Amino acid sequence: MNLQFAQLILWLPLLGFLFCSTSGLYIKDRALQKRLTTIIAPGVVLASFVIALLVTLQFGSTPREIIALIPGTSIYDPWIRFGGFRVNFNEVIDPLSLVMSLVVTGVGGLIHVYSVGYMKDDRDYTRFFTYFNLFIFMMLLLVLGDNFLLMFVGWEGVGVCSYLLISFWFTDEANARAGNKAFIVNRVGDLGFSLGIMSIWSYFGTVSFYTPQHRGVLELANHVGRVLDVTGGVVPTAVITMICLLLFVGAVGKSAQIPLFVWLPDAMAGPTPVSALIHAATMVTAGVVMLSRCSFLFVHSAVALHVVAWVGLATAFMAATMALVQTDIKKVLAYSTISQLGYMFMACGVGDFSDGIFHVVTHAFFKALLFLGAGAVIHSMLGEQDMRKMGGLKKKLPATWAVMIIATYSIAGFPLLSGFWSKDAILDSASRSFAGDGTLLYAGGLITAFLTAFYMNRLMWKTFYTQERFTDGQLHTHHHGDSDDSGHGEDQGNGHVHPSPGTMMWPLYILAILAAGFGWFAGPYGPSGGNLLDKFLAPSIAPLSLGGLHPQADLMSPVAGYLLSSLIAIAGLVLAAVMYGRRMESGAILEPAAADASPLVQFLRNNWGFDALYNLIFIKGGGLLAERGLMRGVETDTINAAGDGIAKSVGGISHLLRRIQTGYVRNYALVMLVGAVTLVVGMLVGVMQH
Amino acid sequence: MPALILFWILAIVCIGAALTMVTAANPVRSALSLVVCFLALAVYYVTLSAQFIGAVQVVVYAGAVMVLFLFVIMLLNLGAPVTSSTKGSNQNTAAVALGAILLLVLFISGIFFEIPGKAVSPATAQAQGTVKAVGLTLYNPHLPWLFPFEATSLLLLVAVVGAIVMTRRQV
Amino acid sequence: MLTGLVAYWDNLRDGIYRLFIFPEYWHGIRLPALVPYVALAGIFAFTLGILPMLIWIERVVIGLMQDRTGPNRLGPRGLLQPPADVLKLFFKEDIQPGSIDVRLYYLAPFISMLVALSAGAVIPLQTVTFRNVHGGLYTVPVTPGNVNIGLLFMLAASSLGVYGIILAGWSSNNKYSLLGGLRASAQIISYELAMGLSLLCVVLLAGSVQLDHIVNAQNTLPFGIHWLPSFLKGSIFSWYWLQSLIVPVVIYTVAMIAETNRAPFDLPEAESELVAGFHTEYTSMKFATFFAGEYVNMLMICGLNASVFWGGWLPPFNCFPFTFIPGFVWYILKVMMGIFFYTWLRATLPRLRYDALMNLGWKRMLPLALVWLFLLAGYSLVRTATAPHITPTAVVTVAHVAPGR
Amino acid sequence: MVPVSYYLSLSAVLFTIGVVGVLVKRNPIQVFMCIELMLNAANLTFIALGRFYGTSVGEMYVIFALAVAAAEVSVGLGIIVTIFRTRQSIDLDETALLKS
């Protein structure tokens, strides 16, 4: 297959977006529009996935150059030309972008299919898919773009889509606020990212990753111990560190790391498929993708890597603790996402970028599965998200329970499931951190893994095992003989719990298989000698040795590591089972009143005080600054006063100048002569001075 | 030496005519002084061996332009302005003062600055003002004058049409 | 016998021609340098001498045409009438009207006269041949100023002639005079265009604006047809009145009458409307100067006509009796034919209405001349392409005339 | 041969006279004539310098200046005639056309 077909990976979702966004103009029949949307919107994404798969298979089996550029614009007539600044619209086809394309289109396609069922009754069905397709396009642009600028376009594009989808049900003010929050917090990170891009432009002279002349940023950085710019000079390490840290700020914003994680829990306001697609499987991993893409830069800066690793660990741990006390089923998952992203950052921080991507992939599977499962639960519970009002759903939703338990065990690191392999790879790498702090990172990772296992099983127990804390009226019932369109909660009490339509369940099954088996497939004991993903990704990922860094010796043997992490995971799962098994009626370890009174619980529920801190600094402090300083000091007393002064002085001057306009041609001619004489005298003086 | 004497005589005629033109109240007298000045300039051109320009100067300026002026003056029956100028006495003073400065500056730049380059011999110069030489230069497709010259004909046509349209009584 | 006769005449002609070839130096005087002065004196003398006679000729011709005797009181056939007229004008009372612009009033007739006379400065009367010290022959045109802008000079002079009229009309402070002056200037400006265009036709054919070049350029076989007999070389059929295909000479003739304000275009002095037009207020010698100026102007315009359209000093046929007569005689004959034509028209045609005059000038003559100029341009292009041996007449003449050969 | 600076100086004098005339005259026809004088002063400079350098460029410029001047005069006088017809006066100080 011609590699040019790879272009379609990017453009098909855009076609879908164009169709969805304009179909309302020429399709007046709403039912037809909906049917077409149902076919086209998931169809383009799945087609994109198929093409990506074909490209990957062909790409992986071809021995020739493994990184390919597909120009969207010619080299001589670039996409953007501004002075000496030239950017082409090229796509880079390399292992990293292919893996991410597969994840985005694969998981995204499954979630599209799921959404067909989930959003079936929504008024804005087509609008939802418009945003979804646009999101897929932007995410693909982010991973496929051959330069920082295209990546930035995609980066901002997914931000926009995220904003649009979080506040999809914008009539509820809380949703709109959540969207705003996500957008604004992301801006902080984007500022860092854009500063990083500018720094790259000014120090490297290019923003492309790869170029046909092998003068791209990554190629320039692909030298042992030094980084060149396009003219052949050496870029100092301090500059690399600065650039890496600026890029990392962008990654922190997009991937919800400390201190910019506060938007992600609130982003759960959107429809559940949105949470699954954007805030679990794809968009939030953009930071990890970006770090991996820039691995050639990062390995040259031990400082930046160190920062990444510790921020990742801190995030993983803190988010895990916060997840312990959440009562909203989606918020538990949101904090777990943050926590898992922390793992990925830790992997990047110790230089093991390919295992970071490995975890991105496995996490995409099981976290999508978890969200979709939670969505199925919420769907069945008529939109109820509070776990305190659930319980005993295992009998009502057995299929959902089955896929959820696979996903839970996978994320908890239950042996031989996907999460086990990827998480263990990260812990192994962390223990061998080049900086010598491997023991600490390993210990922190293990504690977090234990907490993860605990809170995930807590979720399962609260939702599925403990006694029912709801009435049948709160369930999505189904009356025989009626179609699904007959509406929510109709004919209460006479029907039975309808789990979910097929379009919602089949994606779950597929994801469940992947969540269970992919880790083995790509892990060290997989086919073809193991470590398939590592080997495939190798050309896109810089080895640590490039920057002169070297991992330390193993802390323990691999088998001992596997045993230890298995033990920790099982311990967490068992502890939760034991604690909640004793409280089958209430489904809570502490009574609500006691929980509210506990300072620790309050501290964790309040995100370790981050929200309050931001509230104090930015909302209150910023408000004061705006009101006192800017409005009075700058706006009223300076700008307005200057404006008034200019107006008054212009009026006064023109009052004086008005007398000059006599209307007599001769006067004007005289003034012209004055100018001419002045000019001639000036020229004469100028000539005389020579 | 005879050339110099001729120059001075013509200069006196020229400047005198120009001054008369400016100072005369009667526009007819002004116009006639200007004709004299133009004729003197034409003689200058001939002495500068620009015979063609000299002839054209007489035909166009003295023969056509100034006749047109006189024609309009007589058509409108314009005498000297009736009212004395009440406004702009400052204007006149300023104009004369500025004119003096301008003259000074032009003099300085005309006389005291050596003109770069070297004068060519009179024989060479002589051959360049003939009708033939001017025509060959003007119509030489390798020199940049042909197209402007053609464009000038268009300009003249436009001017003719414009003048006719403007002065028509019924529009 | 015929061959012998031809040879005899040829020998005789060459002998006579040899008499008219002058050496370049005569007692240390370079003779060619004297030619302009001789020409100037000749033209001046002829013009001023013939002036009184012109009036007599005109009256006699008109008298003949109108079947009456004309002047017949003074002298034989009234030949003393012109000197008597001059005397009368000279001794008439010089009246200076009130409220006139004195300086311009007195200046106007002299401008008229001077400008008319100055046109004579470039008229070539004939050529004269010199033999240089090496025995080579070269010819020099007999003209006061052999300049390369001859035709332009004539045009400039004739366009300046209007000043006399316009100033006379203005300075007289008389509404008849003013109207006459305005009419004259408008008329002259209008017809100058047609005149210039018809002259341009000739310039196109001759390739020069120098008058002796133009005359020499007519010294070819008619239309360059090389198989014609040699007595037609420079003959009446090769002059530009025919070579320019007749129309330009018609236009020029009409325009020249209008230029000189003669009948039937004498509207500036239409006695039935404007008394005497621009010279209503002029008496005595000032009137005489105007009068003389008008006739000088006529002479000059006819001189130009003769040079440009009628072969200048060339005899009508390049053979026996004609070639014996000197060139300037032919030239003067041609000029006088022009004057006769003036008189003929005056005796024949009634005066035009003013708007008819303007219509004729702007709407008939000017477009016709313009169209003819284009036609001739195309024609000469074709002629250049088909018969290259006849075109460089002017160039050949230039080489021929160039001194020092 | 007369030095070129003589011509330049003469041209300067004529030009200045023209400039002053433009500024002091109230009759637009006279102002117009002063402008023509300025043009001619410039033409003299062209011719003198062209002869000085031995090129025909000066003459070319003069030809164009002549043509433009002729066009300018025809249009300008047309304007003056039109103004006279509408206002019965062409005094520059009475017709302050540029002041609304």
pLDDT digits (tens, 9 = 90+) for C343-366: 898 888 888 888 888 888 888 889
Judge whether residue A248 has pLDDT over 90.
yes
Mean pLDDT, chain A, rounded, equals 84
Encoding tokens for residue A112? 């599209």
pLDDT value of residue C179: 83
Q: In a 10 Å sphere around its CB, with 0-12 CB exposed, 13-18 middle and 19+ buried, how is residue A391 labelled?
A: buried
Judge whether residue C331 has pLDDT over 80.
yes
Encoding tokens for residue D62? 């003069």
Judge whether residue A503 has pLDDT over 70.
yes
The alpha-carbon gap from C181 to the nearest alpha carbon of chain B, in Å, equals: 9
pLDDT value of residue B38: 92
Q: Chain D contact for A662, CB < 8 A?
A: yes
C389 compared with C42, residue with greater pLDDT: C42
User: Which domain covers residue C311, as residue numbers?
Assistant: 2-384
- Spatial neighbors of A184 by CB under 8 A, at least 6 apart, are A263
Confidence of residue C48 (pLDDT cuts 50, 70, 90): confident
> In DSSP terms, which residues pair with A386 in a beta bridge?
A328
Mean pLDDT, chain D, rounded, equals 83
Judge whether residue A448 has pLDDT over 90.
yes
Interface touch C189/B56, C-beta < 8 Å: no
Interatomic CA distance for residues C386 and C379, integer angstroms: 11
Tally C-beta pairs within 8 A across B and D. 233
Q: Identify all chain B residues contacting D34, using CB atoms and an 8 Å cutoff.
A: 21-22
pLDDT value of residue A66: 62
Nearest to B109 among A674, A676, A684 (CB): A684
Region for residue A633 given its phi and psi (left: phi exceeds 0; alpha: psi -120 to 50; beta: otherwise):
alpha
Measuring CA to CA, which residue among A288, A294, A286, A291 is closest to residue A204?
A294
User: Which domain covers residue B46, as residue numbers?
Assistant: 2-79+126-167
In this structure, how many other beta carbons lie within 10 angstroms of the beta carbon of residue C277? 25
Interatomic CA distance for residues B166 and D76, integer angstroms: 10
Cβ atoms of A119 and A20 within 8 Å: the answer is: no
Last residue of a domain, one of A605, A627, A651: A605
Q: Are residues A165 and A237 in the same domain?
A: yes
Interatomic CA distance for residues A8 and A15, integer angstroms: 10
Interatomic CA distance for residues A366 and A337, integer angstroms: 11
Judge whether residue D98 has pLDDT over 60.
no
Element (H, E) at A613: helix A610-614
Mean pLDDT of A138-164: 91
- Which of these ranges, A356-370, B120-134, D74-88, has the smallest mean pLDDT? B120-134
| DSSP codes, C277-334 | GGGTT--HHHHHHHHHHHHHHHHHHHHHHHHHHS-TT--SSSSHHHHHS-HHHHHHHH
How many separate domains does chain B show? 1
In this structure, how many other beta carbons lie within 10 angstroms of the beta carbon of residue C68? 9
Measuring CA to CA, which residue among A57, A42, A40, A63 is closest to residue A5?
A57
Judge whether residue B119 has pLDDT over 70.
no
Say what percent of chain A tops pLDDT 70. Answer: 94
Mean pLDDT of C219-233: 79
Q: Chain B contact for A670, CB < 8 A?
A: yes
pLDDT value of residue A344: 92
pLDDT value of residue A140: 93
- Which of these ranges, A131-135, A669-673, B115-119, has the smallest mean pLDDT? B115-119
Q: Are residues A382 and A505 in the same domain?
A: yes
Beta strand spans in C169-258 (E)? none
Q: Identify all chain B residues contacting C189, using CB atoms and an 8 Å cutoff.
A: 64, 67-68, 71
Confidence of residue A289 (pLDDT cuts 50, 70, 90): very high
Q: Chain A contact for B92, CB < 8 A?
A: no
Interface touch A665/D26, C-beta < 8 Å: no
Q: Are residues A515 and A625 in the same domain?
A: no
Q: Identify all chain B residues contacting A680, using CB atoms and an 8 Å cutoff.
A: 102, 105-106, 109
Phi and psi, residue A294, nearest 5°? -95, 20
User: Which domain covers residue A495, as residue numbers?
Assistant: 3-605
Element (H, E) at C130: strand C127-131
Judge whether residue A247 has pLDDT over 90.
yes
A660 compared with A122, residue with greater pLDDT: A122
Encoding tokens for residue A167? 């506040």
Interatomic CA distance for residues A500 and A504, integer angstroms: 6
pLDDT value of residue C397: 37
Q: Amino acid letter at B48?
A: L
**DSSP letter at D86?**
H
Is residue C390 in a domain? Answer: no
Mean pLDDT of B25-44: 88
Residue in chain B lying closest to C152 (CA): B55
Mean pLDDT of A196-224: 87
Say what percent of chain A tops pLDDT 90. Answer: 25
Q: In a 10 Å sphere around its CB, with 0-12 CB exposed, 13-18 middle and 19+ buried, how is residue A480 labelled?
A: exposed
Judge whether residue A238 has pLDDT over 50.
yes
pLDDT value of residue C326: 80
Is residue C401 in a domain? Answer: no
Interatomic CA distance for residues A620 and A625, integer angstroms: 9
ipTM higher than threshold 0.85: no
Q: Are residues A616 and A592 in the same domain?
A: no
Q: Are residues A646 and A573 in the same domain?
A: no
- 3-state secondary structure (DSSP) of residue A321: helix
Interface touch C209/B131, C-beta < 8 Å: yes
Last residue of a domain, one of A605, A637, A666: A605
Q: Which single residue is written with the structure tokens 């304007």?
A: D79
Interatomic CA distance for residues A432 and A442, integer angstroms: 9
- 3-state secondary structure (DSSP) of residue A509: helix
pLDDT value of residue A579: 87
Interatomic CA distance for residues A294 and A306, integer angstroms: 15
Interatomic CA distance for residues B119 and B117, integer angstroms: 7
- The pLDDT tens digits of the residues spanning A156-190 come to 999 999 999 988 888 888 888 888 888 888 888 89
Judge whether residue A313 has pLDDT over 90.
yes
Interatomic CA distance for residues C159 and A68, integer angstroms: 84
Q: What's the gap between Cα A208 and its chain centre? A: 22
pLDDT value of residue C391: 44
Q: What's the gap between Cα A346 and its chain centre? A: 16
- Quick check: do D and C touch, 3+ CB pairs under 8 A? no
Encoding tokens for residue A80? 């953007």
Residues of B with CB under 8 A from a CB of C: 26, 28-29, 32, 35, 51-52, 54-56, 58-59, 62-64, 67-68, 70-71, 74-75, 130-132
- 3-state secondary structure (DSSP) of residue C392: coil
Residue in chain A lying closest to D91 (CA): A664
Interatomic CA distance for residues B110 and B105, integer angstroms: 8
Last residue of a domain, one of A550, A570, A605: A605
Among A72-86, A591-605, B69-83, which range has the highest average pLDDT?
A: A591-605
How many separate domains does chain C show? 1
Confidence of residue C394 (pLDDT cuts 50, 70, 90): very low
Q: Chain D contact for A660, CB < 8 A?
A: no
Interatomic CA distance for residues C90 and C287, integer angstroms: 10
Judge whether residue D99 has pLDDT over 60.
no
- The pLDDT tens digits of the residues spanning D2-30 come to 788 888 888 888 998 998 888 888 788 88
- The pLDDT tens digits of the residues spanning C290-329 come to 888 888 888 998 999 998 998 888 888 877 777 777 888 8
Is residue B87 in a domain? Answer: no
Mean pLDDT of C103-131: 85
Q: Are residues A581 and A631 in the same domain?
A: no
User: Quick one: three-class SS letters along A295-314?
Assistant: HHHHCCCHHHHHHHHHHHHH
Encoding tokens for residue A495? 């029907």
Q: Are residues A581 and A635 in the same domain?
A: no
The alpha-carbon gap from D97 to the nearest alpha carbon of chain B, in Å, equals: 16
Tally C-beta pairs within 8 A across A and D. 28
Encoding tokens for residue A617? 């600094």
Mean pLDDT of A381-393: 81
Encoding tokens for residue A462? 């609260």
Measured at the CA of A346, the angle between CA A341 and CA A349, to 5 degrees, comes to 130
- The pLDDT tens digits of the residues spanning A617-639 come to 888 888 888 888 788 878 888 88
Is residue B161 in a domain? Answer: yes
Q: What is the CA radius of gyration of chain B?
A: 21
For chain D, how far is it from start to end, CA to CA, in angstroms?
55
Beta pairing class for C25-26 and C29-30: antiparallel
Interface touch B166/D49, C-beta < 8 Å: no
Nearest to A670 among B91, B101, B102 (CB): B91
Cα atoms found within 13 Å of the Cα of residue D86, Cβ hemisphere only:
10
Phi and psi, residue A435, nearest 5°? -85, -5
Interatomic CA distance for residues A368 and A344, integer angstroms: 17
Phi and psi, residue A147, nearest 5°? -150, 165
pLDDT value of residue A185: 87
Judge whether residue A498 has pLDDT over 80.
no
Q: What is the largest CA-CA distance in chain A?
A: 108
The length of chain A in residues reads 690
Distances in Å between the alpha carbon of A472 and those of A217, A382, A399, A468, C397?
60, 11, 19, 10, 127
Encoding tokens for residue C135? 């025995």
Mean pLDDT of B8-14: 91
Is residue B118 in a domain? Answer: no
Interatomic CA distance for residues A89 and A149, integer angstroms: 9
pLDDT value of residue A473: 63
Interatomic CA distance for residues C244 and B55, integer angstroms: 25
Distances in Å between the alpha carbon of A79 and those of A143, A293, A522?
18, 22, 38
Judge whether residue A484 has pLDDT over 60.
no
Cβ atoms of A189 and A260 within 8 Å: the answer is: yes
Nearest to B105 among A667, A674, A680 (CB): A680
> In DSSP terms, which residues pair with C25 in a beta bridge?
C30
Mean pLDDT of C258-277: 77
Encoding tokens for residue B138? 């003007």
pLDDT value of residue A139: 93
Confidence of residue A347 (pLDDT cuts 50, 70, 90): very high
Interatomic CA distance for residues C114 and A600, integer angstroms: 125
Q: Are residues A208 and A260 in the same domain?
A: yes
A294 compared with A493, residue with greater pLDDT: A294
Is residue B131 in a domain? Answer: yes
Mean pLDDT of B155-170: 83
Q: Chain A contact for B96, CB < 8 A?
A: no
Confidence of residue A500 (pLDDT cuts 50, 70, 90): low
Measured at the CA of C29, the angle between CA C27 and CA C35, to 5 degrees, comes to 130
Q: Are residues A616 and A580 in the same domain?
A: no
Report the CATH number at residue B50. Answer: 1.20.120.1200
Confidence of residue A476 (pLDDT cuts 50, 70, 90): low
> In DSSP terms, which residues pair with A477 in a beta bridge?
A497
- Which of these ranges, A356-365, C246-255, D47-56, has the smallest mean pLDDT? D47-56
A12 compared with D23, residue with greater pLDDT: A12
pLDDT value of residue A290: 92
Phi and psi, residue A87, nearest 5°? -135, 135
Regarding the domain delimited by D4-87, which CATH topology (the fold level of the hierarchy) does it fall under?
Helix Hairpins (1.10.287)
- The pLDDT tens digits of the residues spanning B73-114 come to 887 776 555 554 545 567 778 888 888 888 888 888 777 766
Judge whether residue C398 has pLDDT over 70.
no
* Interface test mutation site (partner D, options A658, A659, A665, max chain D beta carbons within 10 A): A665
Is residue B110 in a domain? Answer: no
